[in-house]
Amino acid sequence: MGRGTCDLGRATCDGPSEPVGQTRSLAFSTVTYRAGIATRSRILDAARGLLSEGGLEAATVKAICARAGILPGSFYNLFKSKEEAVLTVVRDAIAAAEPVTAGPEETVADLVNAFVRFVNTEPVIARVYLIIAVSGGVTDPSIRRRVLRHHQARVERFSNALTRLQPRLSHRANERAEALVAALTGYALHATLDSDFDLAKHAEGLLQL
């Protein structure tokens, strides 16, 4: 059994066959895996929406489950706590805010334009990013560490780009980079509060400073 069969009367042979139980188990595992991926996506979408609308206080496990249309047991099968789900959203938001390109050819304009594009094309994630950076970074040590690491990485990329642009002012590159990142973040906050605010125009003005 399981090694294949031969029918001498028909002069045909079947190759090795998978045990029925193993095939069914594999199919069940595949379905379960896909269901888990879909549920995880619904949980993160729900958490992202709640964070965008009401901040950390609004993203309770109960609220996330209600919006995702799942039971708490399904939530805890995938995340140990609300904090783990929120940190996943934070990580995704930070990754979305980060320009894809990086290297010796990266310019200040590349970095500015990438951030403006992120805010304009991903408004919900941008709002989550700003809310978490402002409120979560103050109240949650884990979020604070992630936000600070990302901020420092952004400042370093701006500083490197400024140094390439104006080598003679390299001693002030980090200071200027901090100012640029702060200004961009402030403009992004303004844009989320006022739909008439022209983020691209104001960000372009930073390149003239």
Give dist(CA 143, CA 137) in Å, integer: 5
According to the model, what pLDDT value does residue 139 have? 76
Comparing 170 with 23, which gets the higher pLDDT?
Answer: 170
Least confident of 31-40, 93-102, 121-130: 93-102
Comparing 90 with 4, which gets the higher pLDDT?
Answer: 90
Phi, psi (rounded to 5 degrees) for 11: 55, 40
pTM across the whole model = 0.68
Q: What percent of the chain has pLDDT over 70?
A: 81
According to the model, what pLDDT value does residue 11 have? 45
Average pLDDT, the chain: 82
Q: Per-residue pLDDT averaged across 32-40, rounded?
A: 81
According to the model, what pLDDT value does residue 26 have? 54
According to the model, what pLDDT value does residue 182 have? 94
Q: Which domains does the chain have, with CATH numbers?
A: 19-79 (1.10.10.60), 84-209 (1.10.357.10)
- If one counts every other C-beta atom within 10 angstroms of the C-beta of residue 46, the result is 22
Contact partners, residue 150, CB within 8 Å, separation at least 6: 94, 97, 98
